[in-house]
Amino acid sequence: RHARRQAAILEGAFSALCHGGHLLYSTCSTEPEENQDVVGAFLEKHPSARMERQGATFPQPHPGDCFYWALIRHG
């Protein structure tokens, strides 16, 4: 359910991006279906999109929030 919404948000944000611009996709999840899968499907659909970097944080060794991020460039 969240993955569909996240994919739609990513599509909308990228459509507003100028050629050469950057978009930072970020979620407060470490689930691949909400992160790498969404970004991977998006990159396959948009040949002009380039992954520049990606990363994730995990709450270990201390409890806390975790998140995923991907820096995507248009062009």
Helices 2-15 & 36-45 angle (0-180, nearest 10): 40
> Would you call 18 a catalytic residue per the annotation?
no
Place of tokens 């993955």: 3
- Assess contact for 38 and 30: CB atoms under 8 A: no
CB atoms within 10 A of CB 72: 23
Catalytic-labelled residue, pool 8, 13, 28, 41:
28
Q: Which residues are catalytic?
A: 28
